[in-house]
Amino acid sequence: MSQKSNCEIVKDLLPNYIEKLTSIETNGSIEEHLETCEDCRGYYKEMKEDIPAESIPEAVPFKNYLSKVKTTYVMSGLLFVGILSILICFLVNYILERQFSWSLIVFGGVAFGYAVIYTFFKSKKDKIVKTMACITVLIIPLLALIQMSIYYFIDNRQPIWFWNIGLPITIMWLVIIWLTIIISNRNKLNFFYVISLLLFLSISGNIITNLIANAYHMMYDYDTVLSSTINVITSLLIGLLCLYFGRKWEKRKGLYSSEW
């Protein structure tokens, strides 16, 4: 390709280059050409002076716009799939059983999942906190819906476990997760420390969960105790391992900070 052709291509690309719309590879080729071509370099300087700095669009707002468009399409697609799934389940449930039983559970699960995903993607700040708040508000109504559907539509011989097991265990684990979030945010803990804290708190959670479940079923056998012990030991060991990696991460971060 002749030098004249290269110059024409570069001049055509310069407006997009100035507006930061060209790719990294294209930027490198243009800059390499400008270093060796005085004519194009002068043309570039004149063009850059003719465009006021405040009129040049920034790349960040454009990227944010693209991100919002993608999020909108993803959420719209998920909403369509969710509604379609619910309608199909209601239809099949009514055709087979002439009632709405397990389809109510599907409805609750899909609605819960979509609300959580929507909150996460739409939150600009504090995604974890807002998503967890959404889960906290909706998880108990979801469990109540599951219990109601099972008892009234599927098998009323099964005891109502929601008040004795579902509600206290759910509240306890919500408290554990919220404690982890609050402590980690206040102390700005790294990822490994957060996982370690969650695992240490979950030790008491596993013990209390087993106690509540065993008291409800009146079952205290060897397998239950063994399972609970294994869970506690596993959480403790993994928590200590995460604590070790968290300390190494902090030391490495401190080393890099001192070098800067």
pLDDT digits (tens, 9 = 90+) for 118-153: 999 888 888 899 999 999 999 999 999 998 888 888
Cβ atoms < 10 Å from Cβ of 180: 21
Least confident of 49-53, 101-105, 155-159: 49-53
Q: Which residues contact 12 (CB under 8 A, 6 or more apart)?
A: none
pLDDT given at position 54: 47
Amino acid type, 59:
A
Strands (DSSP E) contained in 88-211 are none
- Computed over every residue of the chain, the mean pLDDT equals 83
Least confident of 57-66, 88-97, 169-178, 194-203: 57-66
First to last CA, the chain: 46
Across 164-173, average pLDDT: 91
**Distance between CA atoms of residues 110 and 103, nearest Å:** 10
Asked whether the beta carbons of 145 and 104 are under 8 A apart, the reply is yes
Going by the DSSP 8-state scheme, the letter that residue 18 receives in this structure is H
Supply the pTM of this predicted model: 0.65
Band (250; pLDDT cuts 50, 70, 90): confident
pLDDT given at position 231: 86
Residue 256 has pLDDT above 50, yes or no: no
Find which of 9-23, 136-150, 216-230 is predicted with most confidence, using mean pLDDT: 136-150
Least confident of 19-23, 42-46, 55-59, 134-138: 55-59
Instruction: Considering only residues 254 and 34, tell me which one the structure prediction assigns the higher pLDDT.
Output: 34
Across 73-89, average pLDDT: 90
pLDDT given at position 20: 79
Residue 161's alpha-carbon distances to 16, 145, 151, in angstroms, are: 64, 12, 10
Band (53; pLDDT cuts 50, 70, 90): very low
Domain boundaries, the chain: 3-55, 58-160, 161-260
**Distance between CA atoms of residues 143 and 221, nearest Å:** 28
